[in-house]
């Protein structure tokens, strides 16, 4: 498959939803991608099973607080600089790149570098959505090392990180990103083709493109984009259950940038004033309570969307008075395994609630 301008726009729409409020706004990444497509042509998207076992496959993306990314734009050189340094470390060229997470702007992050390096993007990612911390990638859950990794900043600073464990790697990289202005690019979890095939979440980029296309086409036909979105999620196979969680207006919002994260909560009231939804977020939306009862919690996806356009609203762009719909979706099955929930379930974020699948909490009949 080739990612052309239309597919890039669809990917931006789909990745924004899959970010569950995080991963960074894809707008700037889409602009960079469009410019590179105009210069070099479409980017190749390849399936996981086409990789040679000894291929060098490199995930990449941004680390830091999405609130900072709204005001502090990258130089456009960060990704290629980090990937070139990794090639020096391994003494061989990179064969393919992939997003560390499909959600938000990070879902588009590898495209610019792939075009410049003339390598394909692999149709997979490391999270199946967006998560706020590096050790929450499926590769860490499956016991792979994030190192060597390379962190680069807009100012040109470049740091190679080597740690004994992936949690320490996250803490070092997070502190560096804060010191470098609050956001930086990171190349991490270098993989062989065999490791990618065994552990990556396959098909996530093509799923994001299909989700975005469903929204776009529904708008063009004058159909309900939310119904089209939920149908596309279910058809993807990765996100088999989806539905509307709430419809209303934002009536309260608390948000701060702390420790390299955007942290806060948002309250949404129904238009008749008789119901309320409360969301808590750490870059991503993590838990949704409707009238005090939990209706969705991490790792399942919770996305706030403009109720007229079905554009996803990242947590750094939430504003008082926005009229929104909240859509929930099941996470990919790999993230619901017991060993994965230890890293990305409610307890990993300090919640006392026990994880229950979103389709059970809402008694959805699309089982």
CATH number of the domain residue 130 falls in:
3.40.1610.10
The domain boundary, picked from 154, 181, 202, lies at 202
- Together in a domain, 308 and 184: no
Is residue 194 in some structural domain?
Answer: yes
- Give the Cα separation of 13 and 18 in Å (integer): 9
- Give the Cα separation of 121 and 129 in Å (integer): 17
Write the CATH number for 283. Answer: 2.40.390.10
Supply the pTM of this predicted model.
0.94
- Together in a domain, 170 and 271: no
- Together in a domain, 139 and 44: yes
CA 345 to chain centre: 16
pLDDT at 69: 64
Task: Give the start-end residues of each E strand in the chain.
Answer: 2-3, 43-46, 56-64, 96-99, 121-122, 124-125, 149-152, 158-161, 183-187, 191-192, 201-202, 242-258, 261-269, 276-282, 284-290, 293-297, 301-306, 323-329
pLDDT tens sequence for the chain (367 residues) = 899 999 999 999 999 999 999 988 888 888 888 888 888 889 999 999 999 999 999 999 998 866 666 666 777 789 999 999 999 999 999 999 999 999 999 999 999 889 889 999 999 999 999 999 999 999 999 999 999 999 999 889 999 999 999 999 999 999 999 998 888 999 999 999 999 999 999 999 999 999 999 999 999 999 999 999 999 999 999 999 999 999 999 999 999 988 778 899 999 999 999 999 999 999 899 999 999 999 999 999 999 999 999 999 999 899 999 999 999 999 999 999 999 999 999 999 999 999 999 999 999 875 4
Of 128, 157, 119, 163, nearest to 145 by C-alpha is 163
Of 63, 100, 77, nearest to 190 by C-alpha is 100
- Together in a domain, 95 and 189: yes
Segments forming the whole domain that contains residue 296: 241-361
The domain boundary, picked from 138, 171, 202, lies at 202
- Together in a domain, 186 and 42: yes
Torsion angle, CA of 159/48/239/296, rounded to 10 degrees?
-20
The domain boundary, picked from 149, 183, 202, lies at 202
Is residue 232 in some structural domain?
Answer: no
Calculate the alpha carbon distances from 179 to 2, 183, 358 in Å: 38, 9, 38
What total of structural domains would you count in the chain? 2
The b/e string for 197-225 (b: 16+ C-beta within 10 A; e otherwise) is bebbbbbbbbbbbbbbbbbbebeeeeeeb
């Amino acid at each position: 498959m080739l990612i052309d301008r239309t597919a890039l726009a669809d990917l931006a729409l789909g990745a924004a939803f899959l970010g569950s409020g995080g991963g960074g706004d894809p707008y700037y990444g889409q602009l960079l991608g469009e410019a590179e497509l105009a210069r070099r042509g479409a980017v190749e998207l390849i399936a996981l099973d086409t990789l040679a076992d000894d291929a060098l496959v490199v995930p990449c993306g941004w680390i830091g607080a999405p609130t900072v990314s709204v005001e502090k734009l990258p130089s456009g050189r960060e990704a290629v600089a980090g990937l070139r340094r990794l090639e020096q470390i391994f003494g061989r060229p990179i064969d393919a790149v992939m997003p560390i997470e499909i959600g938000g702007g990070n879902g588009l992050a590898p495209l610019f570098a792939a075009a410049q390096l003339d390598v394909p993007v692999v149709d997979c990612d490391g999270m199946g959505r967006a998560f706020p911390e590096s050790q929450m990638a499926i590769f860490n859950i499956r016991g792979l090392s994030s190192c060597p990794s390379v962190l680069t900043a807009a100012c040109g600073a470049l740091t190679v990180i080597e740690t004994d464990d992936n949690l320490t790697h996250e803490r070092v990289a997070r502190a560096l990103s804060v010191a470098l202005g609050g956001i930086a690019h990171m190349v991490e979890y270098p993989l062989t083709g065999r490791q990618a095939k065994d552990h990556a979440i396959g098909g996530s980029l093509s799923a994001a493109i299909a989700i975005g296309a469903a929204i776009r086409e529904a708008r063009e036909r004058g159909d309900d984009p939310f119904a089209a979105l939920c149908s596309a999620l279910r058809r993807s196979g990765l996100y088999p259950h989806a539905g509307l969680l709430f419809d209303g207006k934002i009536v309260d919002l608390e948000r701060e940038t702390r420790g390299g994260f955007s942290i806060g909560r948002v309250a949404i009231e129904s238009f008749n004033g008789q119901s309320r939804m409360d969301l808590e977020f750490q870059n991503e939306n993590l838990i949704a309570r409707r009238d005090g009862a939990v209706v969705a919690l991490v790792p399942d996806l919770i996305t706030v969307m403009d109720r007229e356009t079905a554009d996803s609203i990242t947590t750094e762009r939430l504003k008082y008075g926005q009229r929104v719909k909240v859509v929930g979706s099941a996470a990919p099955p790999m993230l619901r395994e017991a060993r994965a929930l230890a890293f990305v379930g409610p307890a990993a974020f300090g919640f006392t609630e026990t994880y229950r699948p979103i389709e059970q909490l809402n008694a959805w009949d699309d089982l």
